[in-house]
Amino acid sequence: MRTLEAYNSIDPEKNKIYAITGQAFASGRKLVWLYSSFAPVNQILSKLGNIVAILYGAYQVACGQMEFTSLVMFLMYFSYFSTAINSIVSAIGQMQQAIVGSQRVDEFFTVKEQQDDSAGTVLSLTKAPKVTFKEINHRYIDQTENSLTNVSFTAPPGKITALVGESGGGKTTCLSLVERFFQPTNGQVTVDGSDLAGLHMEKLRKDIAYVEQDPCILTGTIRDNILLGNNTATDDEISQVLKRVGLELDGVSDAQLLDREVGQSGLALSGGQKQRIALARALIRMPKLLLMDEPTSNLDGLAEETIAKLIRQRFGNTTVLYSAHRLSLILEADWIVVIKNGRVLDEGNHEELLGRCDYYKQLIASQEQHTTK
């Protein structure tokens, strides 16, 4: 959902869903017709069973092999048994439908309604912007403690800024605030001096690309997923960005790769392939502001270094803000913000932080040990 919101693709995807829903409705009508046809058949078969039992029992009574009272008791218990079996089978089907339905309802109510910001100021980014956090506090609705406390830092325009720290420290929350998936409890996030709270985000997002740690992959082809970043891109342009991010398959032509079905939620893809698609989606958009949440977490060391260099080469005129654990991404950054437990401990370049921030030195040492293993 966040990826769709970030790429202003909610309405197009809604239209696809409406079309699929129409097909599902037609299929549902057929199912109802089949069920209505099956129910009488089921009743007939059930009654035939009763008739067979009665005839057989009557024959046994006539031959003196069964007492009449025993036949009556047998038929009574048989009726109870068959009724119970039919009820259980029916209940199982209804329970399965109810479980699936409740999951869909829960998903519906947990998706927040988009904020109407149509009256907001339109900010068109003609160049790489400066992103500033000013004394930000944030607390999630279901939490009692802040996820961010008095966070202030600046991502310089046209530079790469890395948010560094342990998992759960608040890095992803910072990226989400820039996309305005939710509002800060206090403080301001500004883009070129303009408070995000007063901006028309749908317009602004045209100049922003967002790469999630667990990328959103839509059911369809690889082409469909890349076009989410730029729906006017040609097949040749898509093939080029896929090659740049290293998404190639042996013995598969460019056309075949673009038409390759990814399955529901990218079921046919590995974690690394999903991240490459998300990166290609950002590449083809060529944004003024690029936000990435652990963009290489599912890639091996060599691929990670390649992607880190690619970010530097292809987004040289873009403001890049990403969260990072991996050493190659940290070292590629021009500016580093060290975050721990929702607070900014320090910020600066790699050499400066190594000289004065013990927590940063611990993080780097841990990554160096991980890299050498």
Residue pLDDT, tens place only, 160-184? 999 999 999 999 999 999 999 889 9
* Average pLDDT, integer, range 51-78: 79
Q: Which CATH superfamily is domain 131-372 in?
A: P-loop containing nucleotide triphosphate hydrolases (3.40.50.300)
Rg (CA), the chain: 30
Decide: helix, strand or coil at residue 305. helix
- In this prediction, residue 83 carries a pLDDT of 75
pTM of this structure: 0.71
126-165 pLDDT, tens digit per residue, is: 899 999 999 999 999 888 899 999 999 999 999 999 999 9
Q: Per-residue pLDDT for 221 more than 80?
A: yes
Residue spans per domain, the chain: 2-110, 131-372
* Average pLDDT, integer, range 4-29: 69
Predicted confidence band of residue 11 (pLDDT cuts 50, 70, 90): low
Q: Per-residue pLDDT for 342 more than 90?
A: yes
Query: Distance between CA 20 and CA 5 in Å, rounded?
Result: 20
Mean pLDDT of the chain: 84
Q: Is the dihedral of CA 124, 130, 134, 136 positive or negative?
A: positive
Question: Quick count: other Cβ atoms within 10 Å of Cβ 286?
Answer: 16
- In this prediction, residue 8 carries a pLDDT of 60
Asked if residue 174 lies in contact with residue 148, where contact means CB atoms within 8 angstroms, the answer is yes
Let me know if 331 is exposed, middle or buried by CB neighbors in 10 A (0-12, 13-18, 19+): middle
More confident residue, 305 or 42: 305
255-308 pLDDT, tens digit per residue, is: 899 999 998 888 888 888 899 999 999 999 989 999 999 988 888 877 888 888
Phi then psi for 185, rounded to 5 degrees?
-65, -40
